[in-house]
A = this chain, B = another copy of it.
Amino acid sequence: MTPEEFRQHGHQVVDWVADYLQAVERFPVLSRADPGEIRAQLPSRAPVQGEPFAALMRDMEEIILPGITHWQSPNFFAFFPCNNSGPSILGDLISSGLGVQGMLWATSPACTELEAHVLDWVVQMLQLPRHFHSDSQGGGVIQDSASSATLCALLAARERASGGETNRRGVGRPLVAYTSDQAHSSVEKAMRIAGLGSQQLRRIGTDEQYAMRPETLADAINRDRQAGQTPCFVAATVGTTSSGAVDPLPSIGEICRRENLWFHVDAAMAGTAAVCPEYRFVHAGLESADSYCFNPHKWMFVNFDCDCFYVRQRDALTQALSILPEYLRNAATESGSVIDYRDWQIPLGRRFRALKLWFVIRSFGVEGIQRVIRRHVALAERFAEWVEADSEFELAAPRALNLVCFRHRGGDSINQQILDRTEKSGALYLTHTRLDDRLVLRLSIGQLNTEQEHVYRAWRLIQRAVREDLPFVEG
């Protein structure tokens, strides 16, 4: 592909993406492909000769698009939002074009410095504790996901608790970690990866709002200490995946300080809300946290991957993750005056991800981001009112910002039917969870282009799905 061809095809692809984002709400949200259906249309061997670009774009339309579940559709209410936006897509395009490796400061100073800088902006935008700002002993870094952030936090905690012995000699004593019974599976996955084991994770019970009970946490820590175990890490959640519950950070933080445990806070989706002063209550108590993460790739219009991960003591993190082989030695690193982000993460290589975050913040402005967040929360509020006004339905948990957990009062099977019928129709996509062992429907609002008409239509279809199959959307 010559530069001129790149220019020409590039314009074509930009137009394709623009057309896609304009058309996306008309597609059936969930792909209807059967297992194997996409692969069956692809040739079994790679082409020997290069193919014209038009052939690729034709296959995008005819083979790939029917296999896409449309996360950017305003009718996508499943899981969590994973939104993108024009500025993010273009920032990411520049990152692909520059093709730099940001593993060391020296391998592209702007990649490291823009990242540190924009993560400081975010500290100010969300009014996060000062100790996460890079002019303190802490700082921020972009990770691929909250799962990786949690793992890095756990590794730092593990090394702190073992005085670096685990990195040298392996897990040698029974370290214990704590999280709520509503926490994300990534905490357990991190325990396994770090060699500590699932059984060393205590799943602390939750209250009627599905938030961790601090007194139960304190009891568990005591019991473990008495049994000769070494408590080292607590992961609290701001906005659980199932129901959006917020763990009581102030009391948990106090326990962590008293017991000298690493306190990690995962606010993957809900954290963004703190850009609005009126929702900043979700972070009350965050001052005690040793580490914190939230995902602009969930609810801040930055396309995957972009998790902002902060630590109070950057040394604790780098002591857990740093290795300096000869071929990476360089003057800037040895001067001690620069950040080398390879020591803040699992992989060595890293892409210039700060560009897309920078583009989003500058294009929207803080007020622009606030406007969208407020609209999403208002829409969820409205939806929750409709649920409460319908005697056949009920809320299954308090509305949590942009997430509504609800159910038909008729029991699991009717709720399963609602799920199946809405999914099949293609008109909207909900997912489920279980709370108190009952099936619960989740409506999560966060796509950039979701407006009241989409939420209202979703509600009308949900009501209708109680009684009948829904018509298919013809994409």
Q: Is A137's CB within 8 Å of the partner chain B? A: no
Q: List residues of chain B with CB within 8 A of the CB of A151.
A: 193, 346
Q: Is A471's CB within 8 Å of the partner chain B? A: no
Q: Is A349's CB within 8 Å of the partner chain B? A: yes
Contact A48 B97 (CB under 8 A): no
Q: List residues of chain B with CB within 8 A of the CB of A303.
A: 96, 99
Spot the interface stretch: A102-110, A255-263, A457-465: A102-110
Q: Is A395's CB within 8 Å of the partner chain B? A: no
Q: Is A391's CB within 8 Å of the partner chain B? A: no
Q: How far is the CB of A71 from chain B (nearest CB, A)?
A: 5
Contact B101 A82 (CB under 8 A): yes
* Residue interface mask A1-21, B partner, CB < 8 A = 1: 101111101110111111011
Q: How far is the CB of A132 from chain B (nearest CB, A)?
A: 15
Tell me the chain A residues, 214-258 only, with Cβ under 8 Å from chain B: 241-242
Q: List residues of chain B with CB within 8 A of the CB of A47.
A: 361-362, 365-366
Contact B16 A7 (CB under 8 A): no
Q: How far is the CB of A84 from chain B (nearest CB, A)?
A: 4
* Residue interface mask A55-77, B partner, CB < 8 A = 1: 11000100111111111100000
Q: Which of B45, B99, B110 contacts A64 (CB 8 A)?
A: B110
Contact A1 B87 (CB under 8 A): yes
Q: Is A22's CB within 8 Å of the partner chain B? A: yes
Tell me the chain A residues, 86-106 only, with Cβ under 8 Å from chain B: 86-90, 92-94, 96-101, 105-106
A361 nearest in chain B by CB position = B46
Q: How far is the CB of A59 from chain B (nearest CB, A)?
A: 8
Q: List residues of chain B with CB within 8 A of the CB of A21.
A: 3, 6, 97
Contact B99 A304 (CB under 8 A): yes
Query: Among A4, A169, A355, which residue has the most Cβ atoms of chain B within 10 A?
Result: A169
Q: List residues of chain B with CB within 8 A of the CB of A105.
A: 35
Q: List residues of chain B with CB within 8 A of the CB of A67.
A: 108-111, 113-114
Q: Which of B4, B93, B327 contacts A13 (CB 8 A)?
A: B93
Q: List residues of chain B with CB within 8 A of the CB of A94.
A: 13, 16-17, 60
Contact A109 B147 (CB under 8 A): no
Q: List residues of chain B with CB within 8 A of the CB of A158.
A: 195
Contact B124 A46 (CB under 8 A): yes
Spot the interface stretch: A183-191, A282-290, A309-317, A380-388: A183-191
Complex: how many Å from CA A171 to CA B15?
Answer: 53
20 more CB-based (< 8 A) A-B contacts, given A51-B365, A148-B346? A3-B22, A7-B14, A10-B14, A16-B97, A35-B335, A39-B113, A48-B365, A51-B363, A53-B363, A64-B114, A68-B108, A71-B101, A99-B304, A155-B193, A168-B199, A169-B200, A170-B175, A185-B325, A189-B346, A195-B196
A304 nearest in chain B by CB position = B351
Contact B89 A38 (CB under 8 A): no
